[in-house]
Structure 1
């Protein structure tokens, strides 16, 4: 008693700076639990408090904890106050707008627009301004719906190869967790026998450790391999799904009406990165979940469920307040991807228009634009890195190191009191072995909890941005009719244009004629009846046009710039939506109807493939085919091209850099002469060649039996056509015979 009294006085003097002395605190505990809650718990708690709070380091640690707790409550209070103000503002706006309640129209405008298969996108002004838990919950719901929308297309059925890879990956994760537990047990056993100096048992444990490491190493390697296989399989399936739809509507999706930015990046880099992130997220969620379950079962038998529950309560509390201050990394990731797409677009535009930019001396200006885009990326990346660093400090201390401190605290009762089945009646060596095994399992459990938290919030936040971008791509293609449904953007454009006062409002109809007149029962012709030509923005270009082009009676379209000549061809060929009237034309194919623009498309590949496009190049060289190609090239004055480039099998990745402007257009004319379609639409397809060569080229096309619908500003081409269509620029038009 005297010694205890002296120790109590020392503790009282050492804690004189505290408002409540250690002795007073302990006395309060003793009054609350006069007999101790569990035998020796009060002795252990008294010893812990007296040795912790009487040290300067203990006081410093307590001060840090109080400061961090106060900071968290301050941040939480500020956010709560801001959310309250925002709710009050929205409530006041609703009262002003609808007399105290949100009308059905307002509610639908500020709610979720359900996409196909239940995928949702938030619309409305207030939706983008929500903050706090409501916004986070809504964002998480949208993420899961969008992710489910994507995964249903990535894993189409239970018997696909993606399911097989997923099953194998999950099984390997289970094996790896089991191996981790066995290795932890062997490590503790070796420590126990080292303390007891039982060398035979140590040697046996080392042999067992070496043997179990063999399947552990194989499982780890196979796990990485299967993760890569699953990533590749998901990427291939998603890319094929996007390709099947994107290449059906690529023109409408990228050039007509509402379009998405950086479609190329979404369809390639974003799809690949999403497949990798989803696979990583699945492994990072399943593995720690299994580890938490198995480690918890083992530790509950070793230290008891009460202490384990306190350990989990600590992780729940620390994770909750971290989520409270967590920045919106998903939104930041999406913005980073958008800025990366802008920079890639600058470089792509430079390569596409290199000659024009070089002639204008615009290299310095393009460099400034690229540098500005790069500066935006750097600024955004610095913000993200700074936020990650700040959150990382709090995360490392509270979750990683704090979890270790919590684990040690939970192991103290079993070791200190020796009142658990696993420690009762054991000597020092056996207790040491127990401590080593429990330490290893607690460390693994803490790492698993941390990894599960990182995956469930941080990992999901990183995937959220990519998921949104890929979902927007898929949803956009669905909206443009890529899956066989109606094109909603074209419907919107039609509704906009039909509201024009000069629109004829004749129901739109497109009739496709078969190549064989005996099958279709119609003579080959191209006709437009009561057709209004509108730009996608609703601007009227040509009003109520009626024109018919029969086989053998070519038509030339003339008019000032901006009068709608090319737009008329786009509407005729189906590139732009038909607002009103009836269009009749042959079904597009290489033998019936071809369109040749001013800048012809030259695909990469051999010279033979360049000329037979859009048909496939034969795998086996055909002498008769090469003879026809040589004849077509001779008719356009390019007989020298094949010998110069190394024959018909000469391969080029980019023929645009090889051929001049006139050669490109003559190659396109040679392609027409090779296929010999019934009709051909030429949109200034010979503007880059001289007038005398242009006349010869058009004469060769007429001699080959091709009926032309030509757009040209050169009057010397009128003699090759039967009629001339003149567009007046204000919607008016007239047709004259030549």
Structure 2
């Protein structure tokens, strides 16, 4: 009931307005929602699907935890700071990642197909030849051909997880475009109801707006999520593919520096460039896929409202603009590639400073290192400034054309139906004021819809134009990743078969493995790998020797004569150009290089390297056995000094030079090889410790080849080979002839030593004579006929 006394002060028009507001409020209070409408169905569908996915992921997580629990009970392994991978019987790799106390996450990486790598090798090998041939065709794109080859790695087969991620992203891209159409229609309906003063419909459509906002926001988040997941999955596939070739028994990580490639800072290629490539290609798919779908959907809808001519005009404008921007677009791919290269140089300059900080400190080399860093940063700064200037001018042109020019055309085409209806109405005489008002509201609604769609269409076209820059940057990343894969395939050969185009050619040597009678060299030249190949000047022209089993060899020579090069040939690091090399199996040979290497990890990892903790357990060893090894090399005090086997430190800085060499010998005792090659491996320990270590190897019946410049080590060896000016002299220290020559040399030395007193007396007499003390000279008690004459 309305109190009439309170309305006394209001005019009649104010009372009418109040009644109208109350009426609208009453209509709003009786608002009815159509539960079969699209906004409601989409909102409920999104909620139900989200709940269903949550249930599925919860069940899967529970199953994974159960499998992990079963795996942990089966393994019964202690929780370590670092857990390495294990190769299973089927060739797959098992990685156990610690999650907590006695809890692991088990990841299985399938065994790589060597046949696949061999087949892919020809794709990269023949790429340059194919490009020369395809240049004569009408349509050819080096970038698209490179992407097509790399795509085999990103999605190796159709029933792959990446395929489902890609298809899911396509689905959500189409769904987002369809939702954009619904939002545009709903936006026009809201404006129509607002102008018409229909509060009930306005409130209903506002509720629809809030409901449809949830699936629209969910779709946008899903597209971003799928883009990130796809980029991570692409990176995983590509990184595993690279690691399988880069880090295997073929040792491509070492050979890639010998093949004359233009790859510098390969770590940046594998980490930074692969990441940027995967993120760029997934981002480009999303940034180009959504505008492309928008162009199709919005064009079809606008064609019904604006006509075919308007759509033709719009796309003509897009085409002309694209041609102009393409000509005006700088070479962003080349700029990005050069920027990445300069960033790698600057990063590695810092890395070199951190790695060798102590040596630089001893030399007081701060000034020269600062100069090098400044020069490296100066080149990077100059390039970044150039790239910034180029991007500025291009951005001005791009924004003016795409944002404002296209928007102006959008307003023109969106307003054409309205202006045409005003100029040529259907029936001007029969139009009443009410019908005109209805037409105005209808035109306003249609203009809002057309305007929103035109702006969306312009935005889609502008994003396609913006993607030209993204494509150019992706071209640079693709070029670097493809170059990396090409070089890896070239060096991924056990016989250094890189091809004549790299200069490493004429590799005709033969390697005989599983040789049980020791090690044998037959007419082998020691040549440093280079572009000249076998034509390069050899360090040793013709090397031939035979070391029998359980016999030890000492190779003597000055620095740079080729001692370490012999070890490189035995290990397979250098190619065998000619001759025959017979050696035991690679698993039976252990190498100790001049510079001892210490991996990231605990003290246990340093002893068992290159084995993992899982390997040690499978071999039946434990920490007590490692303590026994440390005691044998006189390093047991490290446990007391450092704590225990699980302590993680930077061991290359913690251990002294002598401790590093004794730790290397501890690895030999753990490995128990048939043959060990020692390259200056005892020059940092004292003489008594050196004697003890060589005697320890002899007691363990481990055959060793020692590379050194110290002849005193021959007492531990059976053979000695001297390298002098490209010539070699081989001696058997155990032969009867050599023993006789040694005995004769000993007799000669003893005979000379027996004359020491006589020559000392003679020296004293000469000194007295020179001082003029003739009277003090005592005549020697010898025969006068043999008396020496002094003076003239």
> Which category describes the TM-score, using the shorter chain as reference length?
0.7 to 0.9
Q: Deviations for 1:438-493, whole angstroms, at most 9, x for unmatched residues? A: 110000000000111222x21110111111111111111101126x7963158955
Q: How big is the shift at 1:364?
A: 2.3
Name 2:240's counterpart in structure 1: 240
Q: How big is the shift at 1:632?
A: 2.0
Q: 1:610 to 1:181 in 2, by over 3 A?
A: same
Contact 1:166–1:230 at 8 Å: present in 2 too? Answer: yes
Name 2:180's counterpart in structure 1: 180
Name 1:341's counterpart in structure 2: 344
State yes or no: 1:480 paired with 2:491: yes
- What SS class does the counterpart of residue 540 from structure 1 fall into? coil
Q: 1:697 to 1:232 in 2, by over 3 A?
A: same
For 1:255 and 1:543, the matched residues in 2 are separated by 24
For 2:390 and 2:128, the matched residues in 1 are separated by 26
Q: Deviations for 1:179-217, whole angstroms, at most 9, x for unmatched residues? A: 111111111111122122222221121111111111111
- What SS class does the counterpart of residue 255 from structure 1 fall into? coil
TM-score for the superposition, normalised by structure 1? 0.76
Contact 1:173–1:223 at 8 Å: present in 2 too? Answer: yes
For 2:226 and 2:510, the matched residues in 1 are separated by 52
Contact 1:246–1:477 at 8 Å: present in 2 too? Answer: yes
Name 1:718's counterpart in structure 2: 714
State yes or no: 1:509 paired with 2:507: no
Q: How big is the shift at 1:543?
A: 1.5
- What SS class does the counterpart of residue 694 from structure 1 fall into? helix
Name 2:417's counterpart in structure 1: 414
Q: Deviations for 1:554-585, whole angstroms, at most 9, x for unmatched residues? A: 11111122211111110121110110011111
- What SS class does the counterpart of residue 325 from structure 2 fall into? helix
State yes or no: 1:573 paired with 2:583: no
Name 1:287's counterpart in structure 2: 290
State yes or no: 1:467 paired with 2:470: no
For 2:204 and 2:642, the matched residues in 1 are separated by 74
Q: 1:587 to 1:635 in 2, by over 3 A?
A: same
Name 1:647's counterpart in structure 2: 644
- What SS class does the counterpart of residue 523 from structure 2 fall into? strand
Contact 2:513–2:582 at 8 Å: present in 1 too? Answer: yes
Contact 1:162–1:233 at 8 Å: present in 2 too? Answer: yes
Name 1:680's counterpart in structure 2: 676
- What SS class does the counterpart of residue 261 from structure 1 fall into? coil
Q: Deviations for 1:11-48, whole angstroms, at most 9, x for unmatched residues? A: xxxxxxxxxxxxxxxxxxxxxxxxxxxxxxxxxxxxxx
Name 2:275's counterpart in structure 1: 272
For 1:684 and 1:281, the matched residues in 2 are separated by 54
State yes or no: 1:201 paired with 2:201: yes
Q: Deviations for 1:105-158, whole angstroms, at most 9, x for unmatched residues? A: xxxxxxxxx98326876699x99xxxxxx99x99x7111111111111111101
State yes or no: 1:392 paired with 2:395: yes
Aligned with residue 663 of structure 1, among 659, 665, 683 = 659
Name 1:57's counterpart in structure 2: none
Contact 1:252–1:480 at 8 Å: present in 2 too? Answer: no
Aligned with residue 535 of structure 1, among 516, 528, 533 = 528
For 1:120 and 1:314, the matched residues in 2 are separated by 41
State yes or no: 1:630 paired with 2:627: yes
Contact 2:552–2:717 at 8 Å: present in 1 too? Answer: yes
For 2:235 and 2:614, the matched residues in 1 are separated by 30
State yes or no: 1:117 paired with 2:114: no
For 1:707 and 1:620, the matched residues in 2 are separated by 23
Contact 1:602–1:656 at 8 Å: present in 2 too? Answer: yes
Name 1:255's counterpart in structure 2: 257
1:149-160 alignment runs, 5 A limit: 149-160=149-160
State yes or no: 1:734 paired with 2:729: yes
Count of aligned positions: 594
State yes or no: 1:702 paired with 2:703: no
- What SS class does the counterpart of residue 602 from structure 1 fall into? coil
1:133-172 alignment runs, 5 A limit: 141-172=141-172
Q: Deviations for 1:401-450, whole angstroms, at most 9, x for unmatched residues? A: 11011112223432211289999996111111111111100000000001
Q: 1:610 to 1:489 in 2, by over 3 A?
A: farther
For 1:283 and 1:624, the matched residues in 2 are separated by 53
Contact 1:558–1:727 at 8 Å: present in 2 too? Answer: yes
Q: Deviations for 1:215-257, whole angstroms, at most 9, x for unmatched residues? A: 1111112222111111111111111001000002334334323
Aligned with residue 689 of structure 2, among 659, 672, 693 = 693
Q: Deviations for 1:314-339, whole angstroms, at most 9, x for unmatched residues? A: 12111211111211100000000100
Contact 2:518–2:548 at 8 Å: present in 1 too? Answer: yes
Aligned with residue 437 of structure 1, among 449, 455, 462 = 449
Contact 1:121–1:142 at 8 Å: present in 2 too? Answer: no
State yes or no: 1:401 paired with 2:397: no
For 2:560 and 2:501, the matched residues in 1 are separated by 25
Contact 2:255–2:573 at 8 Å: present in 1 too? Answer: no
Q: 1:422 to 1:727 in 2, by over 3 A?
A: farther
Contact 2:121–2:490 at 8 Å: present in 1 too? Answer: no
Q: 1:230 to 1:706 in 2, by over 3 A?
A: same
Quick check: 115-124 or 301-310, which moved more?
115-124
For 1:706 and 1:636, the matched residues in 2 are separated by 15
TM-score for the superposition, normalised by structure 2? 0.71
For 1:619 and 1:191, the matched residues in 2 are separated by 72
Q: How big is the shift at 1:283?
A: 0.7
Q: 1:182 to 1:673 in 2, by over 3 A?
A: same
For 1:572 and 1:292, the matched residues in 2 are separated by 64
Aligned with residue 549 of structure 2, among 528, 548, 551 = 551
For 2:710 and 2:632, the matched residues in 1 are separated by 22
State yes or no: 1:328 paired with 2:321: no
Aligned with residue 526 of structure 1, among 495, 501, 519 = 519
Name 1:377's counterpart in structure 2: 380
For 1:491 and 1:732, the matched residues in 2 are separated by 32
For 1:485 and 1:295, the matched residues in 2 are separated by 59
- What SS class does the counterpart of residue 622 from structure 2 fall into? helix
Name 2:92's counterpart in structure 1: none
Gaps of 5+ in 1: 1-113, 128-133, 499-504, 514-521
Q: How big is the shift at 1:308?
A: 1.6
Contact 2:678–2:704 at 8 Å: present in 1 too? Answer: yes
For 1:485 and 1:460, the matched residues in 2 are separated by 39
Aligned with residue 310 of structure 1, among 310, 313, 321 = 313
Contact 1:253–1:476 at 8 Å: present in 2 too? Answer: no
- What SS class does the counterpart of residue 418 from structure 1 fall into? helix
Contact 2:556–2:710 at 8 Å: present in 1 too? Answer: no
- What SS class does the counterpart of residue 528 from structure 1 fall into? strand
Q: 1:473 to 1:586 in 2, by over 3 A?
A: same
Name 2:210's counterpart in structure 1: 210
Contact 1:258–1:489 at 8 Å: present in 2 too? Answer: no
For 2:246 and 2:732, the matched residues in 1 are separated by 42
Q: How big is the shift at 1:494?
A: 4.7
For 1:489 and 1:380, the matched residues in 2 are separated by 36
Q: 1:580 to 1:641 in 2, by over 3 A?
A: same
For 1:341 and 1:247, the matched residues in 2 are separated by 21
Q: How big is the shift at 1:281?
A: 0.6
Contact 1:253–1:477 at 8 Å: present in 2 too? Answer: no
Gaps of 5+ in 2: 1-119, 428-435, 531-535, 734-792
Quick check: 411-420 or 166-175, which moved more?
411-420
- What SS class does the counterpart of residue 701 from structure 2 fall into? coil
Q: 1:384 to 1:567 in 2, by over 3 A?
A: same
Q: 1:120 to 1:378 in 2, by over 3 A?
A: farther
Q: Deviations for 1:565-609, whole angstroms, at most 9, x for unmatched residues? A: 1111101211101100111111212xx100100111111222222
